[in-house]
Structures are given as C-alpha cells and as structure tokens.
C-alpha cells in the first residue's frame, strides 16, 4: 500500500516541488487548492499530465481553504492521510502588514484547524504533521547564526502568526503525543518562486531588461541579508523530518548569508552585465559598469545594442521598505545534518544561474508567442 500525503499550499512553490518528490517516492498525493477566478495550477499542471498516463492516478486535489474548519475536517476524514504537510499560508511578509488579521487567520489559526482536525478525528496515532515554520520567527535576531535554540523575536504580522503556529505544533505534540514537527526553513527559492519575492523579482527584471521590455529594477532595502537555498533541497528536508522515529523541530539553512545588493550583482553577471552601486539610502543607484557582450549574447540570444556603460538599471523605491525589517538571517543547519543527514546540495551561484536562465527563456517564449519571431528583439527601441 502506498502512503497517502495531504499537502496544503499545493499550488505554491514548495507544494509543487514536494508533490513531485512524494509522487516519485510512490505516495498518493492529495492537494488542497483554493478556488481562484483565474488558473492557479501552473506549477503542478505537469504533474497532472504525467499522472493521466497512469491507470491508477496518484495525484488528486480538492477545493479548500485553511480558514474553513468544516472543509478541513471533511477532507482529512475522507483522505485519512499518513502525512500532512501544512504549507498553505499568506506567505508575503510585506503584504502581512496590510492584511494582519487575515494573515493571523490563515497562518496562525489555519495551523490550529489542521491540528484539531487530526485530533478530533482520532488520527493522532496515524497521521504525522509537518508545519511550515520559518526563519522569520527569529526576526530581530538574538543570536548569530540562528539554531533550534535561538530565542524568537518576530518582526511582522506574518512572523507573529507563524510563531503562534509554531507553538501550537509543539503544544499538540506534547499534549496529545502527536507526531508533529516544525521545519524552521530559511529562505528558499527556485525558478517557480513567487514573482514578488525579491530573488524572483530580480531575475525576472534581468530577463526583461536584457530583452528590452523593462528599463529599471526598483527595490527596497538593499542591505538586508538572507540565507538562500534551493526549494528542491528544502522539500527533501520536509520529507525526511516525517520519516524520523521521533518528532522534532529542525532548522533548514545553508549557513551562508548574502545581501540583496550582492544578489543583484551576481544575477546581472549571469548575462554579462557588471553593476556598480553608488549613493546612499534612497539615493542609491546601480549602473552598468561593464558589459561582456559575448556573454550577454550567449545568455540572451540577442546583441546588447540597447545597453550602454553608465546606464542606470537599479534604483531604490521606499515603497518596498517594511515598517519593521529583518536585517540579517543566517541559519545553523548542524542538527539537520547530524539527525536527518540533510545538507543543501545547490549553491547560491547555481540557484541564481538557473533562475536567470529560466526567466530569460520564459520572456523569450512569451515574446515569441506574441510576435511569431525574435527578430524584432534586435530593434529594442520598438518594444521598450
């Protein structure tokens, strides 16, 4: 009998990678999907397509929402999952300042609803739960690097809601003997990262600027530092946590940290553009310092005629500042290495290279679909 997993947040970055991983390991996978007025299954469509070839499909979804207890109870009862991966969340830190109550309802109470469903239905012995906790719990960091024992100090409604979920998970483990784990995951990215998180915003902008569809990239705090890994590695850690003999909480991180400014530099260099930053605060700008024209052409398929030395490609827009910021995150993944045998396989340069290449390819494809050819891209004045 194959194991059955229920994934909330199946349409998100992590949900799609995790579903792929579990299907490859022989699981039957059920995903909770929100009703949307437009298609929201782009990240998992390929999994359905593969699954349809099989006689006994193992990939299913149901409509649901973490704010709806009845819905959760109904489907947990029907599915009787061996493992629940609770990944659904309003996951954007800045947006959580605009929607604090909703964020608390989904990210905080939503987790409680899932834990309660398992308890009420008498599944505490059968069903293991993974809770998507976050390095945002550390917020104004109390220790460098951050480990499982570092005190929390969240700095946003998102972080505070996730703190509630973290402790509910610990409490249900202790009170009801449930196999419930927190994965305290540091930032992880991929080519299917949501477009408004900073890494993907940068790699998309580089593709658009390179191919002549955008003139400048506007960002907020360039000094913030993050410990960035690849989502593909991080979903493996989620799976491993639920295969242990005892439920425990784990930090998942690379142990390295990089500023937003350096990420920008590294990502532009993928298309042969060197960026030099000058100025301070909101006056800071990033200009083209040098262009490796052969590298640019190899990466984009067009000549760099529309770009010139000194051209301003990056600026700071205070719109993207947060009321309270998390300035520095760097995780200590020692426990995960020792107990799960987990280490990050992808380096940051590899991750950036993959993200930039995928975004360039996407922009080229979209453009091709619209125009029926690439020739026009060499005459970029027409399309900027």
Q: What is the SS3 assignment for 354?
A: helix
Type and span of the H or E element at 70: helix 69-79
Contacts of 86 (CB under 8 A, 6+ apart): 8, 9, 110, 111, 114, 129, 130, 131, 132
CB of 376 to ligand NAP, least distance (A): 33
59-118: which residues touch ligand GDD (CB under 6 A)? 91, 93
Identity of the residue, 36 or 378, whose beta carbon is nearer to ligand NAP in the bound complex: 36
Q: Look at residues 130, 326, 320 and name the one whose alpha carbon lies nearest to residue 227.
A: 326
Nearest residue to 203 via CA among 13, 362, 352: 352
Q: Which of 62, 76, 75, 60 is nearest to 27 (CA)?
A: 60
Cα dihedral across residues 237, 169, 44, 101: positive or negative: negative
Identify the bridge partners of residue 314 per DSSP, sorted by sequence position: 217, 286
CA distance 359 to 199: 12
Cβ–Cβ under 8 Å, residues 224 and 259 = yes
Q: Which does 36 bind (CB under 5 to 8 A by kind): ligand NAP, ligand GDD, none?
A: ligand NAP
Whether 136 is catalytic: yes
If binding is defined by CB under 6 A, does position 106 make contact with ligand NAP? Answer: yes
Least distance between ligand GDD and beta carbon 302 (Å): 26
320 binds, among ligand NAP, ligand GDD, none (CB under 5 to 8 A by kind): ligand GDD
Structure tokens at 5: 């997993």
Helix 198-210 to helix 348-371 angle (10° resolution) is: 50
Contact criterion met (CB below 8 Å) for 216 and 312: yes
Stretch that binds ligand GDD, among 22-30, 102-110, 130-138, 282-290 (CB under 6 A): 130-138
Tokens describing residue 151: 């005190």
Shortest separation between residue 79's beta carbon and ligand GDD, angstroms: 26
Cα separation, 173 vs 169, whole angstroms = 6
Q: Note whether 118 and 305 are within 8 A (CB).
A: no
Among 76, 198, 206, 328, binds ligand GDD (CB under 6 A): 198
Whether 134 sits among the annotated catalytic residues: the reply is: yes
Interaction of residue 233 with ligand GDD, rule CB under 6 A: no
Is 158 noted as a catalytic residue in this protein?
A: yes
Q: Is 197 in the site for ligand GDD (CB under 6 A)?
A: yes
Q: What are phi and psi of 316, to 5 degrees?
A: -105, 130
Q: How far is the CB of 335 from ligand GDD (least distance, A)?
A: 18
Residue in 28, 83, 127, 136 annotated catalytic: 136
163 is an interface residue for ligand NAP by CB under 6 A: no
Tokens 């007025």 sit on residue:
37
Indicate which single residue of 10, 109, 161, 224 sits in contact with ligand GDD (rule: CB under 6 A): 224
Residue 198 binds which one of ligand GDD, ligand NAP, none, with CB within 5 to 8 A depending on kind? Answer: ligand GDD
Q: Least CB distance from residue 101 to ligand NAP, whole Å?
A: 13
Residues 222-251: x where in contact with ligand NAP by CB under 6 A, - otherwise, as a string: ------------------------------
**Cβ nearer to ligand NAP, comparing 72 with 178:** 72
Can you give the binding site for ligand GDD, defined by CB under 6 A? 91, 93, 134-136, 186-187, 196-198, 201, 219-221, 224, 226, 260, 320, 322, 325-326, 329
Can you give the binding site for ligand NAP, defined by CB under 6 A? 8-15, 32, 34, 36, 40, 65-67, 87-91, 106, 132, 134, 185, 187-188, 194
Q: Catalytic residue numbers?
A: 134, 136, 158
């Amino acid at each position: 009998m194959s194991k059955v997993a229920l994934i909330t947040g199946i349409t998100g970055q992590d949900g799609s990678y995790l579903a792929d991983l579990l299907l490859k390991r022989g699981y039957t996978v059920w995903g909770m999907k929100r009703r949307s007025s437009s298609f929201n299954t782009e990240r998992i469509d390929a999994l359905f397509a593969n699954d349809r070839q099989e006689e006994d499909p193992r990939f299913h979804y149901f409509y649901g929402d973490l704010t709806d207890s009845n819905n959760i109870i109904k489907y947990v009862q029907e599915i009787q999952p061996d493992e629940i991966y609770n990944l659904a969340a309003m996951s954007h830190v800045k947006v959580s300042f605009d929607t604090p109550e909703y964020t608390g309802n989904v990210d905080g109470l939503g987790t409680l609803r899932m834990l309660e469903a398992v308890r009420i239905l008498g599944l505490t012995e059968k069903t293991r739960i993974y809770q998507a906790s976050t390095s945002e719990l550390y917020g104004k960091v109390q220790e460098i690097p951050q480990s499982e024992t570092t005190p929390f100090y969240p700095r946003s409604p998102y972080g505070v809601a996730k703190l509630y979920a973290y402790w509910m998970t610990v409490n249900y483990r202790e009170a009801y003997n449930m196999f419930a784990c927190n994965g305290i995951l540091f930032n992880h990215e991929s080519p299917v990262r949501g477009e408004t998180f900073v890494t993907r915003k940068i790699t998309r902008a580089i593709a658009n600027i390179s191919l002549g569809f955008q003139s400048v990239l506007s960002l907020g705090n360039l000094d913030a530092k993050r410990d960035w890994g690849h989502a593909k590695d991080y979903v493996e850690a989620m799976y491993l946590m639920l295969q242990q003999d005892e439920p425990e909480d784990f930090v998942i991180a690379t142990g390295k940290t990089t500023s937003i400014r350096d990420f920008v530099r590294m990502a532009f260099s993928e298309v042969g553009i060197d960026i030099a930053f000058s100025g301070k605060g909101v006056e800071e700008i990033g200009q083209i310092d040098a262009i490796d024209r052969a590298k640019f052409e190899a990466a984009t398929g067009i000549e760099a005629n529309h770009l010139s030395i000194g051209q301003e490609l990056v600026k700071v827009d205070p719109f993207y500042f947060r009321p309270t910021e998390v300035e520095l995150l760097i995780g200590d993944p020692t426990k995960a290495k020792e107990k799960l045998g987990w280490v990050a396989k992808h380096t940051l340069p590899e991750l950036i290279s993959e993200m930039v290449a995928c975004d360039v390819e996407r922009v080229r494809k979209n453009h091709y679909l619209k125009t029926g050819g690439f020739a026009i891209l060499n005459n970029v004045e027409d399309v900027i």
